[in-house]
Homo-oligomer: A and B are copies of this chain.
Amino acid sequence: MSTVRPPRSHVQVTADLVILTVRTGELHVLLIDRGNPPYLGQPALPGGFVRDGETLDQAAYREMAEETGLHEGEVVLEQLRAYSKPDRDPRGRVITVAYLALSPELPLPVAGTDAAEARWVLVEEALATELAFDHNEILRDCLEAARVRLEHTTAAAVFCREPFTVADLRHVYEAVWGQRLDPSNFRRKVTKTAGFIEPTGGRRFPDVGRPAALYTRGSATLLVPPLLRTGAEEPQH
């Protein structure tokens, strides 16, 4: 009865970036203020359109460099999933692929071409803000993915600028999970997991308290058995 329409639909594809870091013990995400319509001036995740001849990974790294001044090698991006609701972008049919990055505390990013400004925002605050497109949903999903990643991999160490102390590493877990961890049990876990952290022999002398031994990231990437959140301890208010 009806004419058979070509089933193919031309869409545009973007890569959006969720770049997380820990600053002053709290989890931050890198946001930009949109420099173009739609959502002009509204906060959003950095990202942009995939170009011809580019893979999604390449597009993600290019956008990261353009909009934040961070380069491949400084930060590792990992693909998470695609978001495809037909009306998620008022410009038309745009499917986005979200990328997650865990980054050490880096120099403040610089404003780029597509972005009026890039800045670190408290994750808690970003989630309470109305972000452009479906970026609130993307941020929520990436945050949960990051929490799971910390359970099963040694990824938390990339949040730390080397050399770091066991307490530095613990603060990362506490910031991402939003809960306090027992310092003693945490130490036992990370020091007895082969390849998680390697001692440098040096020490750091804080303003107060006993000096702490310094470590660098080890070669291990998987954490078996995992380091699980128990939900037992409450976040410090």
Contacts and interface: CB of A to CB of B under 8 A. Distances in A.
A140 interface: no
A81 B235 CA distance: 33
A97 B97 CA distance: 10
B54 A82 contact: no
B9 A11 contact: no
Interface string A175-219: 000000000000000000000000000000000000000000000
A82 B53 contact: no
A86 B224 CA distance: 36
A228 interface: yes
Contacts of A237: none
Contact of A13 (B11, B49, B54, B55): B11
Contacts of A10: 10-12
Interface string A51-65: 111111100000000
Contacts of A225: 225, 228
Size class of A's contact patch?
A: 20 to 34
A27 to B, nearest CB: 24
Nearest to A63: B7
A221 interface: no
A172 B230 CA distance: 29
5 contacts: A10-B10, A11-B13, A55-B86, A56-B84, A81-B81
Interface of A: 7-13, 48-57, 79, 81-82, 84-86, 93, 95, 97, 224-226, 228
State the 4 A-B residue pairs at the shortest beta-carbon distance, nearest first.
A56-B84, A8-B49, A9-B52, A10-B10
